Amino acid sequence: MAPTKKILRALAGEVLDTPPIWMMRQAGRYLPEYRATRAEAGDFLSLCYNSDLAAEVTLQPIRRYGFDAAILFADILLVPQALGADLWFVTGEGPRLSTITEQADFDKLKPATDIHDTLNPIYETVRILSRELPSETTLIGFAGAPWTVATYMIAGRGTPDQGPAHALREENTVLFEALMDRITEATIDYLSMQIEAGAEVVKIFDSWAGSLKGEAFTKYALEPCRIITEALKARHPDIPVIGFPREAGPAYEGFAKATGVDCVALDNSVDPLWAAAHMQKDGCVQGNLASSHMVTGGQALIDDARKIVSAFSKGPHIFNLGHGITPDADPENVQLMIDTVREKSVVA
């Protein structure tokens, strides 16, 4: 049966008159209702693991804006925590983890099959959402890609250049690849359980893929994405997969064919006309308005959104930002973006 939800139609290769739209980090700190719910939860991790509250913040931007998809509210670092890493968040600074820098650290991790006791609340959030979302709204599950997750597990935090992870992969390749394999196995099981709970699409976020170059990109960004996608499609043949190798540059071309993903999400450094010419022949693309427009708004937002819609109008396209919306964004600018894409009462 052909899909009826707009995002599923685009992912199946259909060219739509108006692209479906959702937004990375659409449930987040720019919304006052999110901030209120997070305060109720007490802290970020408590919010992630409280299924009712996590479902509530996932639903908030759907109620406010009517996006075509909701993305599960969780965090990519829940997988390392489920594998046995210590995880905490420092206010104003972000996540901190215990580090994997030598074999003894790796040996303390759990097998990939032992993650589900920790992650069961996430699957319950998906089940709640699959019941409560509007019938026309697609539910997207997600996980971090192995390389991006590994960078945090090795450094114990986010880093500007992913230097500690690059050092480990060069100096102790055996340990690095063992960690990558463990994350890959866990990610397959994690996403598969999200699908069984009701996710209709899954997305693999490789936020730091751009720091991998040449053969390293192929080996540690492209190949894990291919393995995960192939395994998921063997278990769930009808579930589309979106890949996001952020800042891949020229390596975006051919990524869909090489990995088997149904759609490639683009960061905002990619020219839409280039992507239309080089990528839409292989399937759906997603993106790629600069998230800074959600802060500044105005005519520049309207103009750039229209350029993106026009550039991708001859192929399957899901409208999105090129990265997540930032906490300083103005909710009114989000509405302006949606109205522009849907051509509703926007003054040129």
User: CA-CA distances (angstroms) from residue 35 to 38, 39, 74, 78, 197?
Assistant: 5, 6, 15, 21, 27
How far apart are the C-alpha atoms of 341 and 336, rounded to whole Å?
9
Phi/psi region, residue 299 (left: phi>0; alpha: psi -120 to 50; beta: rest), is alpha
pLDDT for position 347: 52
Q: Which of 30, 34, 65, 152 is catalytic?
A: 152
Q: Which of 25, 169, 182, 246 is catalytic?
A: 25
pLDDT for position 344: 73
**The CATH number of the domain covering residues in 6-341:** 3.20.20.210
Exposed, middle or buried: residue 347 (CB in 10 Å: 0-12, 13-18, 19+)? exposed
Indicate if 38 belongs to the active site: yes
Indicate if 306 belongs to the active site: no
Segments in the chain below pLDDT 70: 345-348
How far apart are the C-alpha atoms of 269 and 321, rounded to whole Å?
11
Q: Which of 35, 38, 96, 157 is catalytic?
A: 38
The answer to whether 177 touches 103, Cβ cutoff 8 Å, is no
pLDDT for position 73: 98
Of 58, 189, 75, 67, nearest to 131 by C-alpha is 58
Indicate if 64 belongs to the active site: no
pLDDT for position 346: 55
Indicate if 107 belongs to the active site: no
Q: Domain ranges in the chain? A: 6-341
Indicate if 152 belongs to the active site: yes
How far apart are the C-alpha atoms of 64 and 57, rounded to whole Å?
11
Strands 138-144 and 94-97: unpaired
Q: Which of 75, 181, 271, 339 is catalytic?
A: 75
